[in-house]
Each structure stands twice: as structure tokens, then as C-alpha cells.
Amino acid sequence: MMFFGTTNLDLCFNVERLPTPGESLMGALNRNPGGKGANQAVAAARLGLRPHFYTRLGDDDAGRSLSLSLRDAGVRADAIEVCPGEISGSALVLVGDDGSNMIVIDPGANLNVTPAMIDRAAEFIEHDAIVVAEMGMPIPALNRLFEMKRAKGFELIFNPAPVRAGLSSAAWRNVNFVTPNQTEAFELTGVEVHDFESAAHAAGKLLDLGPNAALITLGAQGAFYADAERAFALRAFPVKVVDTTAAGDAFNGGFAASLAQRLPLREAVKRALAVAALCVTRRGAQSSMPTGEAVDEFLKS
Ligand code: ADP
């Protein structure tokens, strides 16, 4: 399997409250590896797969530490590009004691992915592989990746986050599973998703864009699946929530890993819900991704 997407170094400051303009506050800093693509690849690796990952890093300290943490997690790094003269993506995250936040992102090297780079990275896609892409890469690069689906014969999961317009209709038709959250589903369809019924309505509109299936996540409510033949909703597992950061990434990594392990569809969605449920019980992004054994235990209990 192979993931395509962004990698960032998240500089997370915990502060009592968010600052006002001109104000200086004291806070506690944690440097966390992040970026949606990286989080998703790590989620699959923690579940025991050995995914390839294509991302671009700067030739800087952040890039070296990000690359190391990906390898440590079990992600195959052969396709990763380290780019002299560019800086790694980073995010400044302020989190107040009440959970409110402020985020500024410098995408750095993530912004410079070209279609030619995708052509080179695609050498690492094995036949019959599951390929996962999020929307942080430039649109022309995503269009190129999606348009090579038939020739390469892979199955494509598309997590449209951060959601933007511009994907070609040919690219949309090559998507097997589109996996938006409620906000992204609204942005793509104009349908406000607040329960399974409205999710069904949005899923119908998502299918009109061209993908074979729509799989909408609804936070603490669970997930809704629809394709041309069937539709079903599965409830989220009730857990004590500590931090919902990267819940969607855990879900996508978990779903992709389950498909790669040839689980039947409904089982794959259920396992993705379990991976995401365990993720929200722990603080952090990549550090909160559960192992395959932890998920097995959780599903037995
Ligand atoms: P995102 O993190 O992309 O905004 P969601 O909020 O829809 O995505 O969450 C993705 C998945 O994470 C949900 O489908 C669910 O499985 C799980 N999840 C999120 N919040 C909770 C929660 N409070 N309790 C249990 N599972 C949750």
C-alpha cells in the first residue's frame, strides 16, 4: 500500500488562554510530527503494515527528525523526497486550557509537488495496491496520481482534506472511496451533515461526482457508507475522549489497512471506527495511533 500527502512539524504550545494581539504569554512547547498524509501512513504502519509514503521534506533539522519518526513507526521511506534549499512544512498550534486553538501552517516543501514528481513516486506503487491520498498536495499533482489509477491498477481512497475545488472530473471518476468528514462533505455537496439521514443525502451527491463509494465520518456519531448497491451506518464506539486530533487520519489509515488485509467492507469500516476510537482516547497525533493488537483487544472487549 502507499500513501501520498503532507508532512509537518507541529509546534504545539499549551497556554492557559489564547493570546490577544500584541500580548506575550508563557506556554509549554511540544514538537510533534504531523501532517495528514504522515499521520495516515503512521496509522497503517502501527497496525502492522509496511506502507510506502510519498511526501516532500526540507533538507533541514525538522525534515531529518520527521523522516526518522516515520521510519521508526515502520513507514517505508524510499519514495520520500528531501529537497535541498526548501524548508519542511510546519504548523504553529496554540491550545488553550479550554481546548480552543489557533493554528498557522507554513506548508514549505509540501507545496511544491509537481505531476512529474508523482510520476516518479508512482514507481513504488505495487500492482493491486491500496493507494491513499489526502488533499494537502497541489491539485495538478493529485489529478496526475488519480488519472494513473487504471493503468497502474490500484484501488484509490481519497480523503478530501483540507477540502478544495479543482479536482478534474476524470480524477473523481477514478476514486474508489471518498472519505470526507461532515465539514468536507458539506463543502463538496452543499448538504449539511448532522446525522445519518443527512449523511445519506450528502453521500448521494458525492457519488454524483464520480467515486464508486462515499464513506462519511461523523465524529462521535460514527460513519456512513454508500455505493450504487448498498448503504449502511455504523455507530462510533463510545470512549472517554481525551484529544480528537488526527481522529480522521486514524480512521483513514485504519480503513486502508483493513482493505489491504482483505477484510470485508463492513468489517473494514468497523475496524476503522475502532482505530479512530482508540486514537481519541490518547493525546497527540501520530503518538495516539493504536497497534493492531490493541485494536483486536478493543474489538473483543
Ligand atoms: P476529523 O477528525 O477528520 O474531523 P471526525 O471528527 O468525523 O473526523 O472523526 C473521525 C472518526 O473518529 C469518527 O468517524 C469516529 O470513528 C472517530 N471519533 C471522532 N470523535 C469521536 C468520539 N468523540 N468518540 C468516538 N469516536 C470518535
Cα 68 to ligand 1 centre (Å): 28
126 in a domain, yes or no? yes
77 in a domain, yes or no? yes
28 in a domain, yes or no? no
Q: How far apart are CA 165 and CA 291, in angstroms?
A: 35
Question: To which H or E segment does residue 248 belong?
Answer: helix 247-260
Domain that holds residue 222: 2-6+35-88+110-300
237 in a domain, yes or no? yes
Other CB atoms within 10 Å distance of the CB of residue 29: 8
99 in a domain, yes or no? no
238 in a domain, yes or no? yes
12 in a domain, yes or no? no
Q: What is the pLDDT along the chain (301 residues), one digit of tens a residue?
A: 999 999 999 999 999 999 999 999 999 999 999 999 999 999 999 999 999 999 999 999 999 999 999 999 999 999 999 999 999 999 999 988 887 888 899 999 999 999 999 999 999 999 889 999 999 999 999 999 999 999 999 999 999 999 999 999 999 999 999 999 999 999 999 999 999 999 999 999 999 999 999 999 999 999 999 999 999 999 999 999 988 889 999 999 999 999 999 999 999 999 999 999 999 999 888 999 999 999 999 999 8
The binding site for ATP consists of: 181, 217-222, 248-249
Number of residues that this document lists for the chain: 301
Strand positions, DSSP E, the chain: 2-4, 8-15, 28-34, 52-54, 56-58, 81-83, 89-96, 101-106, 130-134, 155-159, 177-178, 213-217, 222-227, 231-235
Which residues are known catalytic residues? Answer: 249
Assigned C-alpha cell, 206? 458525492
Predicted ipTM beyond 0.85: yes
Q: How far apart are CA 282 and CA 285, in angstroms?
A: 9
Q: Ligand 1: which of 101, 132, 244, 252 to mutate, judged by most atoms within 8 Å of the beta carbon?
A: 244
Q: Is 287 in the pocket of ligand 1 (CB under 6 A)?
A: no
118 in a domain, yes or no? yes
Instruction: Count the domains in the chain.
Output: 1
- CATH assignment at residue 287: 3.40.1190.20
Q: Is 135 in the pocket of ligand 1 (CB under 6 A)?
A: no
Q: Is 273 in the pocket of ligand 1 (CB under 6 A)?
A: yes
